[in-house]
Amino acid sequence: MPADNKPSATGKGAATPRRVRAAIEAKLRDAFAPDLLTVIDESHRHEGHAGWREGGETHFRVEIVAPAFAGVARTERHRRVHRALAEELAGGVHALALRALAPGEAG
């Protein structure tokens, strides 16, 4: 079995790599119906740092462009994304770099 398909060692609810990324994508699509959604696992860039663990899926970069963010302050956009991803953020996700925009703001 390739290394990137190896089960993680997190015990109960152990997931294969990319499962967390898939959950993030699905939840954000369901919550915001984005025009653009990019979810990147940057865990490899944080190896040996706080929150990193073998198998990755601890550090993510998300860019989301959604009509749901029109007229909404940046801090509230972030709160809404964090609420949508509460389970992942309470679990194994250590860091989330987030860019949340309304259509027309993307440059």
Q: Is residue 94 part of a domain?
A: yes
Number of domains forming the structure of the chain: 1
Q: Is the pLDDT of residue 57 over 60?
A: yes
Structure tokens given for 29: 């699509």
- What mean pLDDT comes out for the span 14-30? 80
Residues 66-102: b if buried by 16+ CB within 10 A, e if exposed: beebeeeeeeebeebbeebbeebbeebbbbbeeebbb
- Structural domain of 45: 18-101
Structure tokens given for 95: 């860091």
Give the C-alpha separation, 75 to 65, whole Å.
15
> Considering Cα of 107, then 21, then 84, then 50, what sign does the dihedral take?
negative
pLDDT of residue 94: 76
Closest CA to 97 of 41, 52, 50: 41
Q: Is residue 58 part of a domain?
A: yes
If one compares 4 and 103, the residue with the highest pLDDT of the two is: 103
- What mean pLDDT comes out for the span 64-92? 95
pLDDT of residue 34: 98
Assign residue 88 the CATH number of its domain.
3.30.300.90
Q: Is residue 4 part of a domain?
A: no
Q: Is residue 3 part of a domain?
A: no
Q: Is residue 107 part of a domain?
A: no
Q: Is residue 13 part of a domain?
A: no
Place of tokens 């653009």: 36
* pLDDT tens-digit readout, 26-53: 999 999 999 999 999 887 554 555 554 5
Q: Is residue 8 part of a domain?
A: no
pTM: 0.74
pLDDT band for 58, please (50, 70, 90 cuts). Answer: confident
